[in-house]
Structure 1
Amino acid sequence: MSSVFTQIINGKLPADIVHEDDQCIVIKDIHPQAPVHLLVIPRKPLLSLAEADDSDAALLGHLMLVARRVANDAGIGHGFRLIANNGAAAGQTVDHLHFHILGGRRYGEANL
């Protein structure tokens, strides 16, 4: 699998990286849908959340904790959305699992 995210992880494409560790990276989205729009991307090349299995539990937990940490660092820890689009029918455009962190504005029921 060689998605745009794999190329970013391997240093072949540039990105605005805000966090990096041995299991994941977090980058600023190049087409932000909110004042703060970050992507949490595992280094492991999972296609989507549907492709994860029980052996990925620790990785998925790590991604959630990193999302919390970078949301706090970005000043949106008090209120943000964490979204994983799963498959093309749900709007997933890159075949590599990633979580969107969206914040910096108020969300209401009409925005769901």
Structure 2
Amino acid sequence: MGKLDVVAARVAGGATVSFRPTGSSMVPLIKSGDLVTVAPVDPAALEVGDIVLARVAGAVYLHRVSALDPARGRVQISNNRGGINGWTSYARVFGICLTVAGVPRPGAAAKVAAPAEPDAPA
């Protein structure tokens, strides 16, 4: 299990997580080692250009939403260098990137998923 798998599990569980991803696929939006903060997301609120933490074909990426298919409940994930990772279901989109190096991502905070309501007593 890789570092992003651990982060994805925490975000899927409802946590907001800050971490430092490595790599160059998202430059200049995210540079290797930038501190990013990711929170659970309402996938139905996503827009093209949002940066999300998602599982595509078995791998977890912190990449951009490049296309939407709401009728089928899925999004296309791509890096920032023209590479397309593929389509993934809403259920595999774990979080949205709120900040990069302390700078808020425009509109991201409004897409954070509301915490789950506790079950009503029987």
Larger helix percent: 1
More strand by share: 2
Q: Normalising by structure 1, what TM-score?
A: 0.29
Greater relative CO, 1 or 2 (CA 8 Å, sep 6+):
1
TM-score (norm 2): 0.27
